[in-house]
Copies of this chain bind each other. A is one copy, B any other.
Amino acid sequence: MARLDAIERLVMLLAKLPGIGKKTAGRLAYHILDSDRTYAQALAGELSRLHDSLSRCSVCGVWTETEPCPVCADESRDKASLCVVERAQDVRIIEEAREFRGRFHVLGGLIAPLEGVNPGDLSIGKLVGRVKTEGITEVILALNPTLEGDTTSLYVQKQLEGSGAVVTRLASGLPVGGDLEYADRLTLSRSFRSRVKF
């Protein structure tokens, strides 16, 4: 059969998304085709306007429709506490936990020399500047507990030495609701070393 161009083109585009293979892309394409056309139109509309409606907040670096972003503009947030994250989407995840009431700083990546990402490629200089000028007393490093995340945390911590701010990082350990049996060796070791008094 000659390929159905419109479907195939959609499948090819969907298959470029992370975690979506060609089979899943096909399933999604036919689902969209079998759904009401208003759905496809709504999705098309959001996608076409996406990059125009959003830009990076000039202060913290998250994607925002307003400048500065709602968090940076919110006077009720704790200005003394700054949470450093790798990517803009990490802010959304942390906000959903409703635990942290300070503000954010997006690094834009993690140090990974093998992949060509050096400290200069990240928003670290700007972070140091913010800590000095905004009266920040605590910097919480909320980077992934991976090799790159730990390397970056260490580097950032060194850069902030002498700034007067306390630098902390998120606790590593067993996930709540998890099972000892399924914890990997490193997580288990770290949860022993970081054990807390009962």
Contacts and interface: CB of A to CB of B under 8 A. Distances in A.
Contact-residue size bin, chain A (C-beta under 8 Å from the other chain):
35 or more
A65 B13 contact: no
B47 A18 contact: no
A9 B18 CA distance: 19
A62 B64 CA distance: 42
B47 A10 contact: yes
25 contacts: A1-B71, A1-B92, A2-B70, A2-B74, A4-B54, A4-B62, A4-B64, A5-B53, A7-B63, A9-B46, A10-B47, A13-B46, A16-B39, A17-B32, A18-B31, A19-B24, A20-B28, A30-B88, A32-B47, A33-B50, A40-B50, A44-B48, A45-B48, A47-B47, A48-B48
Interface of A: 1-2, 4-7, 9-10, 13-14, 16-20, 24, 26-28, 30-33, 37, 39-51, 53-54, 62-65, 69-71, 74, 87-89, 91-92, 95
